[in-house]
């Protein structure tokens, strides 16, 4: 149905795609994997008409196309679901679905027809819980994504490109998305599926194409391969151990942070102890209060009730400065708007915290910052490169370096490896464990259960704003999910 043959593309003399060939059959999910910077996005942008290839052809149903504008790609039946949705928040679902193609009657937009056809479309793909007249801004992320999909379907796409569709979703939402993807392929759609999450790639795809450094390394039949082989071809090396070894009991030391009876309008009855040397994982569905917990510990949205101690001294931080002075650091889940000043240099970002809150031992020297950036294994052109131009993984390393410069005692990570490629992920995991071993208390929030299980010495599960259970290291996904869904029938209820 779709063939991309021998596609190459250079930007300013730098080859980013070398002779890549890819094909897609109707009703197939073809997964595209590779580290950040491997060329996946460029390839997809060429398919979507956002870039023009230097060489190579795109053939759809035997007709060759040379797109020079996204509208041409759309008219040829190619739809893209970007990571950042292109929806108008203050418009209704129907208005978004028919944006730019509104049905018109006597010169005016026929709202009734628009809403009726949107409702039909949503019914066709078996989606409930969204009505055509809802405002997009009132929908949770998972639902907004469905609106994006409906928008693509409304323009009769035959090929749907999904770029990291599950990145913003919690696990049970991802499962629902997978079900939707299967329904779409059953209707004959071909789906190009970009993802960092191998389990879901294996669950959905018929074939997997691996890109590395702008070249196609392999196209594998999913049934004939396994995660190890795919990871090997992605990184070009064996990842023998995904996760560093956990803490031995004698490595876990003094209490660094305690909370008893903590609560605010999002969370309640929080009892928590973080110890030196220990990595504590927090599991929970989206909206269960995990992020609110981290923000409360950090004083960003403070606890309003309960008692808290940091380093043995009572302190319930009311603003981040107090928490930072007490030695708490928070790596937020949204690094682009909360972790980095994107237009500032790597060095300025790394120095931001210590400039704002001068540490007791004096500000870090330039040499210390350089050493820190080396320690987090940052790959950048130099310390004066703007953070904007780093890959997701390297951006995250800068955020971590920024906090390490403040010499914290307690490190809180909210989704530490979201949108981070495999290589950087392993680097972050190793680093986190090293830091724990040096006596830091670490808390990790993650929607990726394998990561949480692999990293944690203890797992706490949140549900509806409370900590509902504690599990030992190595707990299995099922028992975590059972607690997280809180006795409800998992995945059936609304995500919001």
Nearer to another protein, 211 or 460 (CB): 211
Please identify which residue in 199, 236, 358, 366 interacts with another protein, judged by CB under 8 A.
Answer: 358
Considering only 19-27, 338-346, 426-434, 439-447, which stretch makes contact with another protein by CB under 8 A?
Answer: 338-346
Considering only 118-126, 164-172, 254-262, 336-344, which stretch makes contact with another protein by CB under 8 A?
Answer: 336-344
- Binding positions for another protein, 115-154, rule CB under 8 A: none
Considering only 216-224, 332-340, 443-451, 458-466, which stretch makes contact with another protein by CB under 8 A?
Answer: 332-340
C-alpha distances (whole Å) from 468 to each of 271, 441, 477 are: 10, 21, 15
Please identify which residue in 123, 241, 356, 496 interacts with another protein, judged by CB under 8 A.
Answer: 356
Nearer to another protein, 212 or 458 (CB): 212
Q: What is the rounded CA–CA span in Å between residue 437 and residue 417?
A: 20
User: Quick check: 442 binds another protein (CB under 8 A)?
Assistant: no
User: Quick check: 485 binds another protein (CB under 8 A)?
Assistant: no
Nearer to another protein, 154 or 420 (CB): 420
Please identify which residue in 348, 368, 464, 477 interacts with another protein, judged by CB under 8 A.
Answer: 348
User: Quick check: 342 binds another protein (CB under 8 A)?
Assistant: yes
- Binding positions for another protein, 383-412, rule CB under 8 A: 383-386, 388-391, 394, 402
C-alpha distances (whole Å) from 29 to each of 26, 105, 450 are: 9, 38, 24
> With 0-12 CB in 10 A as exposed, 13-18 as middle and 19+ as buried, what is 2?
buried
C-alpha distances (whole Å) from 465 to each of 164, 218, 414, 476, 486 are: 28, 45, 16, 22, 11
Q: What is the rounded CA–CA span in Å between residue 184 and residue 79?
A: 13
Q: What is the rounded CA–CA span in Å between residue 480 and residue 471?
A: 8
Nearer to another protein, 143 or 212 (CB): 212
User: Quick check: 369 binds another protein (CB under 8 A)?
Assistant: no
CA atoms within 13 A on the CB side of 370: 5
C-alpha distances (whole Å) from 318 to each of 34, 269, 270, 324, 441 are: 42, 18, 17, 11, 21
β-pairing verdict for 55-60 and 63-65: antiparallel
Binding mask 212-251 for another protein (x = CB under 8 A): --x-------------------------------------
Nearer to another protein, 130 or 353 (CB): 353
The pairs formed by 287-291 with CB atoms below 8 angstroms and a separation of 24 or more are 287/140, 287/170, 287/495, 287/496, 288/462, 288/463, 288/464, 288/465, 288/484, 289/462, 289/464, 289/465, 289/466, 290/414, 290/445, 290/462, 291/333, 291/414, 291/445
Distance of closest approach, residue 352 Cβ to another protein, in angstroms: 5
- Binding positions for another protein, 161-190, rule CB under 8 A: none
Closest among 432, 389, 32 to 207, alpha carbons compared: 32
Please identify which residue in 133, 219, 309, 370 interacts with another protein, judged by CB under 8 A.
Answer: 370
Q: N- to C-terminal Cα distance for the chain?
A: 38
User: Quick check: 381 binds another protein (CB under 8 A)?
Assistant: yes
DSSP 8-class letter at 363: P
Nearer to another protein, 116 or 377 (CB): 377
Q: How many of the chain's residues bind another protein (CB under 8 A)?
A: 55
DSSP 8-class letter at 344: S
User: Quick check: 373 binds another protein (CB under 8 A)?
Assistant: yes
Distance of closest approach, residue 364 Cβ to another protein, in angstroms: 12
User: What count of other Cβ atoms lies within 10 Å of the Cβ of residue 84?
Assistant: 8
Q: How far is CA 286 from the centre of its chain?
A: 13
Beta-strand ranges (E) seen in 90-131 are 104-105, 108-109
Considering only 200-208, 302-310, 339-347, 487-495, which stretch makes contact with another protein by CB under 8 A?
Answer: 339-347
Please identify which residue in 7, 267, 351, 453 interacts with another protein, judged by CB under 8 A.
Answer: 351
Binding mask 285-314 for another protein (x = CB under 8 A): -------------x-x--------------
Considering only 71-79, 128-136, 148-156, 343-351, which stretch makes contact with another protein by CB under 8 A?
Answer: 343-351
366: Cβ contacts below 8 Å, ≥ 6 apart: 347
Q: Which residues bind another protein (CB under 8 A)?
A: 11-12, 14, 16, 36-39, 41-42, 214, 298, 300, 320-321, 324, 330, 332, 337-344, 348-349, 351-353, 355-358, 363, 370, 373-374, 377-386, 388-391, 394, 402
């Amino acid at each position: 149905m779709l063939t991309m043959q021998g596609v190459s593309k250079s930007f300013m003399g730098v080859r980013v795609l070398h002779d890549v060939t890819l094909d897609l059959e109707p009703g197939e999910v073809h997964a595209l994997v590779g580290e950040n910077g491997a060329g996946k996005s460029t390839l997809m942008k060429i398919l979507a008409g956002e870039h023009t290839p230097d060489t190579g052809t795109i053939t759809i149903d035997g007709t060759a196309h040379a797109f020079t504008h996204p509208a041409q790609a759309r008219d040829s039946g190619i739809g893209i679901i970007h990571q950042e949705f292109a929806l108008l928040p203050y418009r209704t679902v129907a208005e978004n679905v028919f944006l730019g193609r509104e049905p018109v009657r006597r010169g005016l937009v026929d709202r009734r027809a628009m809403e009726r056809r949107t409702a039909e479309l949503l019914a066709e793909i078996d989606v409930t819980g969204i009505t055509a007249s809802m405002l997009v801004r009132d929908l949770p992320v998972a639902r907004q994504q469905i609106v994006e999909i409906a928008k693509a379907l409304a323009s009769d796409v035959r090929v749907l490109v999904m770029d990291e569709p599950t990145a913003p979703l919690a696990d049970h939402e991802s499962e629902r998305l997978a079900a939707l993807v299967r329904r779409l392929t059953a209707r004959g759609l071909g789906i190009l599926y970009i993802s960092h999450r191998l389990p879901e790639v294996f669950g959905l795809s018929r074939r997997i194409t691996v890109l590395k450094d702008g070249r196609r390394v392999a196209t594998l039949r999913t049934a004939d391969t396994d995660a190890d082989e795919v990871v090997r071809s992605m990184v070009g090396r064996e990842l023998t151990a995904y996760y560093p070894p956990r803490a031995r009991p004698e490595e876990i030391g003094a209490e660094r942070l305690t909370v008893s009876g903590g609560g605010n309008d999002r969370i309640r009855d929080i009892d928590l102890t973080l110890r030196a040397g220990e990595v504590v994982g927090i599991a929970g569905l989206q909206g269960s209060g995990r992020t609110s917990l981290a923000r409360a510990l950090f004083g960003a949205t403070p606890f309003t009730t309960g008692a808290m101690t940091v380093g043995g001294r009572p302190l319930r931080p009311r603003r981040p400065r107090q928490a930072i002075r007490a030695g708490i650091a928070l790596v937020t889940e949204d690094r682009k708007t909360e972790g980095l000043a994107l237009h500032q240099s790597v060095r300025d970002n790394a120095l931001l915290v210590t400039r704002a809150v001068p540490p007791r031992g004096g500000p870090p020297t330039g040499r210390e910052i350089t050493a820190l950036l080396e320690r987090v294994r940052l790959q950048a052109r130099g310390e004066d490169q703007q953070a904007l131009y780093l890959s997701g993984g390297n951006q995250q390393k800068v955020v971590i370096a920024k906090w390490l410069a403040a010499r914290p005692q307690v490190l809180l990570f909210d989704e530490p490896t979201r949108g981070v490629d495999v290589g950087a992920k392993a680097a972050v995991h190793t680093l986190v464990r090293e830091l724990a071993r040096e006596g830091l208390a670490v808390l990790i929030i993650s929607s990726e259960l394998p990561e949480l299980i692999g990293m944690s010495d203890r797992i706490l599960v949140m549900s509806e704003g409370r900590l509902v259970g504690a599990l030992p290291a190595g707990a299995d996904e099922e028992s975590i999910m059972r607690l997280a869904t809180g006795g409800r029938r998992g995945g059936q209820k609304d995500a919001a």
